Structure 1
Amino acid sequence: MRIPGAFAAALDGRGPDGLSPADGVSGRDWLDGLPRLLDDLLDGWALRPDGESRWGSCALVLPVRTGDDEPAALKVTWPHLEARAEHLALRAWDGDGAVRLLRADPHRLALLLERLEPTDLTDVWVEEACETVGGLLARLDVPAIARVPRLSAYAARQAAAPDSPAVPHRYTDQARHLAAELAADADVDARLLHTDLHYENVLAAARLPWLAIDPKPMAGERAFEVAPLLWNRADADELGTGPAIRWSLRRRVEVVCEAAGIDEARARAWSVVRVVDWARDQPPGSAASGLAVTILKAMND
C-alpha cells in the first residue's frame, strides 16, 4: 500500500520516543514496516480500503469497510508515549463525546474507529467553536482510569523545571509556583482528561454534530484542558490586534469554561503552566515564543 509522501516526510528523521528499547522505533524504521502492518490489519480484521487516507504528524487514518460493509476508519500510529493510552480513554468514554472505538490492537497502536467526516472546527466562528469544545468536555467528564499519566506528576516536573529562554523569567517563575499550588488540590488526578482538544481535533459526525478525536489521556483536573484553544487559531485574523488580543484570549477561556462547567480562574492558572511548558519547544525570538508571551500576558492582566 502506498504511503502518502507528506506523512512520510513528517515522520522521517524522528528517533524513538521515550519507549523501552524493546518498543522504541524510529520514524523511518516504522515507515518501512507500515505497508506490511496495514496489509496485516486489513486481512486480520477483514477490512477493505474505502477512500483516500488522511494523516497528522504521527498517525495515518485509512477509511475502510468492515466485513459487514459498515464504514469505519483504521488508525495506525507511530509508537510514542502520548499514544499508548488512547484506546483506554476511548473505551472509557464509549462514544459519548468522542469517536467510538470499535476494535484495538494496543501493541501495534492500531485502532478501528467509527467513520467521521473530514470537517473540523477550524472554519467555525471561534466563539461557537469554543462553546462546542466546552460542550464536549462536559460529555467527556468521567472519573480517571488506571494506566494513564497523572497530572500531579506533570505538575511536579513543571514545579522543578528550569527557565525557558523563549519567555521572560517572571513567567517561568510564576509557572513553577502555580504548578506546585495547583497540584496541592486533593482532586488534581480525579478526572479523565483529553488534554489536546483543540479545533482540529473535533470532527463532524452523523450521530452527534461533533466528536472529539486523538486524545492524549491523563488523569487530572478539568481546568487543564483549556490551553490548546489559546495557541491554536492564534493569528491576527483570529485574535485581532492591540487591546483586542487580550479580550479575544480571555473570551475563549470564558466561553469554554461556561460550556464545560470549569472554574475560569483555575483554567487561566493551568494555562500559564501549560503555555510556559509549550514555549520550551519554541525558538527564542520566534513568532511562537512571541505568541506564548502574548497569551501569558492575557492570562495575567
Structure 2
Amino acid sequence: MITLPEQFIKTIKDIHKEKGEIWLENFEDLCNRCEIRWNMKILSPFELSYNFVAPILIDGQKNAVIKLSVPNEEFNSEVEALREFKDNEFVKVIDSDLNEGILILEQLLPGDTLATIENEQEAMGIAVKVMKNLWKAAPKYTKIPSILSRENSLRRIVEKFPNGLGPISKEMLLDAFDIFKEMNHTQSTKYLLHGDLHHYNILNAGENSWKVIDPKGLIGEREYDIIQFLLNNIEGKDIFTTLENRIDLLVKELNLNKERVLLWGFSHAVLSTCWSLEDEGTYNEYFFQAINVFKDLHKKFY
C-alpha cells in the first residue's frame, strides 16, 4: 500500500475538488489495476507535487516511470505533446491511458536535473544544445492550447483583480495584458512548444545526453517558450546580469527575436506571479524581480 503525503492530498483536493476526492478514494485500486495490466511493481514515489510519479519495474526487471493524474485536459495535452515530440529531445512514452490518467515513460538515468550543474556557462551550453533540437512545426489538427490561453488567463485575473494583486500593481497588470494581446496578434511561425521548459524539466539521460520531461503542450512562437527557463535557477545570482547573459546567448544561438523575448518575459513574469498568488497566497521573489529586469532591458535596447 502506498501512503500519499498530506500536502499532495491537499493539492489534489484543492485543484480538482470533488473529482480529486474520488480519485484519491480509488487511488489504491488504480495502482493495483496498473500493476496487473502491465505486470509491473510500483516503487516508492519521487517527491510529489501535482501528479503521482514513481519508478516501476516491468516484468520484474525493466526500469520505467509511471505518472498518474486526475484525468483532465492538461494531462491529455501532455500525452499528445510527448507523442508529437517522439523524435525530438524528449523522454519516450511506453504506454498511456487518457481515460484513466495513466502515463508510462522510460526512466532517465542517472536522472539529475540541469539545476544540479552549478556552472552557469556549462548549464547554458547544455540547454542550448537541447533547445536546438526541441521544437517542431505546430500540427495542423490538435487539441493542444495556444498561447492565447495564457492571454485569457491574464484577462480573467485583470477582471477579477482590477486594482492589482499583491505586489502586482494595476498598471503592471494592464501593461502585461496589453502586451499579451499585441504579441498574440503579431506572432510569426507557430511551433509546438513545451509550455513549462526549465532546468528541472531537463534531465541527464547518460552518455552525455539530456532529455526533456513534463511538457504542458502549447502552440505558439519559440520566444515565449524560453521565458520559464530564463526565470528558473537564478537564486543567489545577480538577476539582471544573469538574465541579460542568458537572453543574449539564446537569441544568438537559436536565432530568436530579442525584443519579443523581452516583451514576453515581462508579461509572463507578471502572469506567473499572479498564478502563484492565486494558488498559494505567496509568490517567487525572483520571478517578481525579473518583471522589472525585463522592463529595464527593453528600455535599454528599444
- TM category (shorter chain) comes to 0.7 to 0.9
Relative to structure 2, which stretch is displaced further, 37-46 or 154-163? 154-163
> TM-score scaled to structure 2, two decimals?
0.83
Q: Matched residues in 2 for 1:231 and 1:186: separation?
A: 22
Q: Matched residues in 1 for 2:182 and 2:121: separation?
A: 30
- What does residue 294 of structure 2 align with? 299
Q: 1:187 to 1:63 in 2, by over 3 A?
A: same
DSSP 3-state at the match of 2:31: helix
DSSP 3-state at the match of 1:56: coil
Pick the structure with more helix per residue: 2
> TM-score scaled to structure 1, two decimals?
0.83
2:30 is the counterpart of 1:37: yes
Structure 1 residue 57 displacement after superposition: 1.1
Structure 1 residue 291 displacement after superposition: 3.3
- What does residue 97 of structure 2 align with? 105
Matches within 5 A, 1:153-192: 153-155=149-151, 158=154, 162=158, 163=162, 164-165=164-165, 166-185=167-186, 187=188, 190-192=190-192
Residue type of the alignment partner of 2:261: A
DSSP 3-state at the match of 2:99: helix
Matches within 5 A, 1:53-72: 53-67=45-59, 69-72=61-64
- What does residue 82 of structure 1 align with? 74
Contact 1:143 1:192 in 2 (8 A): yes
DSSP 3-state at the match of 1:61: strand
Q: 1:206 to 1:159 in 2, by over 3 A?
A: same
Contact 1:73 1:115 in 2 (8 A): yes
What 5-or-longer segments of structure 2 have no aligned partner?
297-302
Percent identity reads 20
Q: How many residues align?
A: 285
Deviations 1:184-210 (A, max 9, x none): 22536x210111111111111136621
2:42 is the counterpart of 1:46: no
Contact 1:198 1:232 in 2 (8 A): yes
Contact 2:266 2:292 in 1 (8 A): no
DSSP 3-state at the match of 2:283: helix
Contact 1:134 1:258 in 2 (8 A): no
CA RMSD of superposed structures (Å): 2.7
Deviations 1:62-121 (A, max 9, x none): 222333843211111233442221111111111521100111101112111111133111
- What does residue 221 of structure 2 align with? 221
Q: 1:34 to 1:257 in 2, by over 3 A?
A: farther
Contact 1:71 1:114 in 2 (8 A): yes
